[in-house]
């Protein structure tokens, strides 16, 4: 989304001076880049011609208002997110972005696999297996297979 | 469940020497006590007259085989669990046990609230609100209200 | 589907005649009484002052068109239903009706408990536990506790 | 529900007569064509060699008994459906049919996008994004991109 | 939440001039009052001692950024919401608020019942019945029973 | 997974003599082969380089501890599973394995179709249709189309 379109959308939608909404958006964009990298930005870009408001909410609210908050590290947030996306089911596209994000914020492949192995207890094996195979695809692309068992 | 009933069940069900199943069960019981405290044990006890096998699987598999694994700390596991139970919906009974468990393993009320605030982005506000009100009940019982905002 | 195949199918499945809507409703009411007993009828009655059309669909479609079909016994249908209601989550009211229904159609408490124990693998323990405690309440009311382990 | 009220209700809603099953099916087929167009019919056709009864229920019950009812316009029904299919998750195939159906019944692309933007609040962003990208594919096929923001 | 606590929270959390966040919050509070009335405000108030940030997001994002948007009427938004809350399951607390909200924004009891009757097709009868009985409780409190069938 | 890797994993993870864990694993592997055939084994194999512990739990707990239990026939277990996988949504990969498994344990295509037709009542048509089209793909591969209606 170009700066022009974004500013235009912002002043249409939010009845606030463009600087403020830009500040929430910028804070969110900064966190989005650090956490989701390319995967997240491509989602935002793909929304430009259909739902720019939804893109704005992803960046300004989800990342700017929530993810940017102190209190939990990014790695801790990603653990909560891996649990949620596995439990929801049908969110493999987002799991792919977030397995990558989990690596970006410092979780190891071993820790990601442990988290998903843990989900089988609470979500059942079908959902856990769907999640583990998303992780397998991501790790294969990143040349991170095989994943090592945790040190005892 | 008395030791007699448990051993009897074990040797009926598992076709293994009673010592081995008892080892998986004991390891799980140890973790269950450390993590879930009273809340978890009362669930296991309530299963004795209806589904002792399910109780055995909770203790031996869920806690003995999974929760006891290295690779993630108990606090990390609880973050994944808070995400899952919020996302699943309808699991307020388990959320109550696990908010208590999260405190037991060293997460602070502030961290628990941050984790649930984070879930609204991925699960929506209805599920996040259902979870936060379970946490509120637990914190009220433990005299932990009000919860403080995270240090910036 | 061509008109020929449809007419043929219709006469195979649905019994034509002048009072067909009454016939669909009556067939459904008959099955509802045999399967759900009081529990199901009270749900239908409770709909009278708010959604009589929904009640009609429950009786005529759910029971008259589907449950009354040949091909599976009532006990087999109840096994599918126990799986679904456990997996859906938040359907404890319906699980209560259907644990009773399962007893009505000849499943034993042991078989019902086995089915729910089986669900933990596919739905996770939170949903399985929610279901087992509904069963426990029903069995307590019917003086069916304790439930015996299946013969080896 | 007394017999009087039921008969009265039945004659209000369901049209008695000797070819009633054909009538329910025909009424449903008519609504299906108006609402779902090709997408819905192809689903029904694909069921012919595996589950013709399920196809009959889709047409006679879902469309003939429910969708054909007065009280809500087709556009209003589609708003409820967009909410449900987004919330359920994993129903992208049906969302594709129903985004097309929503256009057929007079909702604009802008209104459809607003509805899905609204879902993020209640279902979370993963499910809302899965839905918006189904809409994007449909709109691309229909040459309806870009979608315009609503007039303030 | 008093004005003092809110302003303090706002300037701690959002790194923006307090006026701007107050503007998003105020717009949301205005819509919340018009739509949810007492039910919504009591939810926000109940969050004050545990998760004021979550309350802020409810008011500023959910109502200020999304619900306040043009493009759909409030009644149209409520139809989407009734679909979502029924489909999610386990959200009866929110359904109670939103059945009341639906009445506030001009949907009639008949229209609300039609929407829920419609959900049975897409969510199944257990979830539809759970929703209809929430509506029944709300209508009973508002002296709106019995609900009349829609005019043909 | 080769015997070497498995034994190594077993003694790393379970602090038990390798023979015992091997016994649970072997019992499970035996049931897995009888029930899931190739489909199940390929899932287990695909886990070898990412989550061998999860594979161990699938075989030793899910099949060795649960599926191997008496009390329900394999066909009865598959009926519960077909209900669960349809209700969960997003588990089409597992439904494919389990439709094949259902044939392996003696359910007929007609019975499988009846079970899925039954699910529409409890899960809604979107989920039932997703399941029926998985069954259609499996039956097509096995040359089992068309499926015959049940004998009246």
Q: Over the stretch C121-148, which tens digit does the pLDDT of each residue have?
A: 999 999 999 999 999 999 999 999 999 9
- The partner residue sitting opposite D130, judged by closest CB among A13, A62, A93, is A93
Q: Under a CB-based contact definition with an 8 Å cutoff, are residues B148 and B112 in contact?
A: no
Instruction: Please report the pLDDT score of residue F32 as a whole number.
Output: 97
The confidence score (pLDDT) of residue F20 equals 64
pLDDT band at A40 (very low <50, low <70, confident <90, very high): confident
What is the separation, in whole angstroms, between the first and last Cα of chain B? 48
pLDDT tens-digit profile, chain D (152 residues) = 333 333 333 333 333 344 667 889 999 999 999 999 888 899 999 999 999 999 999 999 999 999 999 999 999 999 999 999 999 999 999 999 999 999 999 999 999 999 999 999 999 999 999 999 999 999 999 999 999 999 97
Kindly state the helix (H) or strand (E) to which residue A40 belongs, with its residue range: helix A37-46
Q: Which residue's structure tokens are 């094949």? A: F100
- Window 45-64 of F: residues touching A by CB (8 A cutoff) are 46-54, 57-58, 62
Q: Which DSSP category does E23 fall into?
A: H
List of chain C residues whose C-beta atoms are within 8 Å of the C-beta of residue B93: 126, 129-130
For C38, other C-beta atoms within 10 Å of its C-beta total 10
- The span from the CA of F143 to the CA of B99, in Å, is 52
Interface of C with B in 88-117 (CB under 8 A): 89-91, 113, 116-117
Q: Compute CA distances D20 → A144, C14, C64, C86, D9, whole Å.
A: 63, 10, 15, 36, 16
Q: What φ, ψ does residue D114 adopt, rounded to 5°?
A: -60, -40
Give the integer Cα–Cα distance in Å for F98 and F67.
13
Measure CB to CB from residue E130 to each of C50, C84, C93 and give the nearest one: C93
A106 has a pLDDT exceeding 90: yes
8 Å CB contact of D132 and A51: yes
| Contact in structure between A84 and B123 (CB atoms under 8 Å) | yes
d(C-alpha F54, C-alpha F47), whole Å: 7
User: CB under 8 Å to F128, separation ≥6 — which residues?
Assistant: D54, F86, F116, F117, F119, F120
Distance of CA A130 to the CA centre of its chain: 18
Nearest to C57, CA basis, from F121, D54, E134, D79: F121
DSSP letter, residue D72: S
Report chain C residues whose CB lies below 8 A from the CB of D65: 57, 61
CA atoms within 13 A on the CB side of E76: 23
Instruction: Give one word for A15, left, alpha or beta, with left for phi > 0 and alpha for psi -120 to 50.
Output: left
CA distance F105 to F86: 19
E118 at A interface, C-beta within 8 A: no
Question: If DSSP states are collapsed to H, E and C, what string results for chain B?
Answer: CCHHHHHHHHHHHHCCCHHHHHHHHHHHHHHHHHHCHHHHHHHHHHCCCCCHHHHHHHHHHHHHHHHCCCCCCHHHHHHHHHHHHHHHCCCHHHHHHHHHHHHHCCCCHHHHHHHHHHHHHHHCHHHHHHHHHHHHHHHHHCCCCCCCCCCC
- DSSP states of E77-91 as a string? HHHHHHHHHHHH-S-
Distance of CA F137 to the CA centre of its chain: 17
Burial class from Cβ neighbours inside 10 Å (0-12, 13-18, 19+) for residue D47 reads: buried
Per-residue pLDDT of chain E (152 residues; tens, 9 = 90+): 344 344 333 333 444 455 667 889 999 999 999 999 888 899 999 999 999 999 999 999 999 999 999 999 999 999 999 999 999 999 999 999 999 999 999 999 999 999 999 999 999 999 999 999 999 999 999 999 999 999 87
B72: left (phi over 0), alpha (psi -120 to 50) or beta: beta
**Helical packing angle, A125-141 and A74-88, nearest 10°:** 130
Q: Tokens 């962003």 correspond to what residue?
A: D125
> Is the confidence at residue F40, as pLDDT, over 90?
no
In this prediction, residue A13 has a pLDDT band, given cuts at 50, 70 and 90, of very low
Interhelix angle B74-88/B18-35, rounded to 10 degrees, is 80
Chain A residues closer than 8 Å to C124 by CB: 120-124, 127
Q: Average pLDDT in the B76-97 region?
A: 98
B112, B109, B108, B129: which is closest to B120 by C-alpha? B129
Q: What is the pLDDT of residue C152?
A: 79
Alpha carbons C27 and A81: distance in angstroms, whole number: 48
Find chain C residues with C-beta within 8 A of E149's C-beta.
52-53
Residues B136, A125: Cα–Cα separation, whole Å: 31
Q: How far apart are CA D128 and CA A86, in angstroms?
A: 16
Query: What value of ipTM does the predicted structure carry?
Result: 0.89
Mean pLDDT of F34-62: 94
Kindly determine whether residue A14 and residue E20, on different chains, have CB atoms separated by under 8 Å: no
The model's pLDDT over C4-44, given as tens digits with 9 standing for 90+, comes to: 333 333 333 333 334 667 889 999 999 999 999 888 899 99
pLDDT of residue E18: 58
B131 contacts B85 by C-beta, under 8 angstroms: yes
Burial class (CB in 10 A: 0-12, 13-18, 19+), A66: buried
Cβ of F119 within 8 Å of Cβ of C84? The answer is: yes
Predicted TM-score of the model (pTM): 0.91
Task: Judge contact between E4 and E40, C-beta under 8 A.
Answer: no
Instruction: Please tell me whether the peptide bond between C16 and the residue prior to it is cis, using omega within 30 degrees of 0.
Output: no
Contact F81 C118 (CB under 8 A): yes
Average pLDDT over residues B52-64: 97
Which residues in chain D touch residue C14, judged by CB atoms under 8 angstroms apart? 21, 56
Q: Which phi-psi region, left, alpha or beta, contains residue E71 (left: φ > 0; alpha: ψ -120 to 50)?
A: left
The verdict on D131 touching A (C-beta cutoff 8 Å) is no
- Nearest-Cα distance to chain A for E108, in Å, is 30
- Using CA atoms, how far apart are residues A70 and A27, in angstroms rounded to an integer? 13
| Interatomic CA distance for residues D33 and D36, integer angstroms | 6
Helix count and strand count (H, E) for chain E? 8, 0
Radius of gyration of the CA atoms of chain D, in A:
18
**Which chain D residues touch A84 with a CB distance below 8 Å?**
124
Pick from D126, D138, D119: which is nearest to D81 by CA?
D119
Residue A36: enclosing H or E segment and its boundaries? none
Nearest to C7 by CA among A51, A148, D21: D21
For residue B70, pLDDT over 50 is answered with yes
Q: What is the pLDDT of residues C77-136, one digit of tens each?
A: 999 999 999 999 999 999 999 999 999 999 999 999 999 999 999 999 999 999 999 999
- The shortest C-alpha distance from C118 to chain A (Å) reads 11
Decide if F50 and A125 are in contact by the 8 Å CB cutoff: no
Name the percent of chain A in helix, strand, coil, to the closest 5: 75, 0, 25
* Rounded Cα gap, residues B119 and A99, in angstroms: 17
Flag whether pLDDT at C3 surpasses 50.
no
Cβ within 8 Å, pair A122-C124: yes
Q: Residue B50 in contact with residue B57, Cβ under 8 Å?
A: no
Which carries the bigger pLDDT value, residue B90 or residue B7? B90
CB-nearest partner of A57 from E13, E27, E61: E61
Nearest to D129 by CA among C65, F34, B122: B122
- Give the 3-state secondary structure of residue E40: helix
- Looking at residue B23, its pLDDT comes to 87
For residue D37, the model assigns a pLDDT of 83
Burial (CB count within 10 angstroms: exposed 0-12, middle 13-18, buried 19+), residue B18: middle
* Non-local CB neighbours of C134 within 8 Å, separated by 6+ positions: C92, C95, C96, C99
DSSP label of C139: H
DSSP 8-class letter at A152: -
Contacts of residue A126 in chain C, CB cutoff 8 Å? 122
């Amino acid at each position: 989304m170009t700066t022009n379109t974004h500013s235009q959308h912002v002043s249409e939608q939010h009845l606030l001076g463009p600087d403020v909404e830009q500040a929430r958006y910028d804070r969110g964009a900064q966190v989005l880049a650090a956490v989701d990298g390319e995967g997240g930005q491509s989602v935002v870009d793909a929304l430009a011609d259909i739902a720019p408001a939804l893109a704005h909410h992803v960046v300004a609210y989800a990342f700017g208002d929530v993810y940017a908050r102190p209190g939990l590290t990014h790695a801790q947030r990603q653990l909560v997110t891996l649990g949620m996306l596995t439990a929801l089911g049908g969110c493999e596209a987002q799991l792919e972005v977030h397995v990558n994000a989990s690596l970006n914020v410092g979780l190891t492949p071993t820790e990601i696999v442990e988290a998903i192995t843990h989900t089988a207890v609470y979500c059942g094996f079908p959902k856990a297996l769907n999640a583990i195979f998303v992780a397998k695809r991501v790790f294969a692309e990143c040349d991170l297979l095989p994943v090592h068992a945790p040190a005892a």
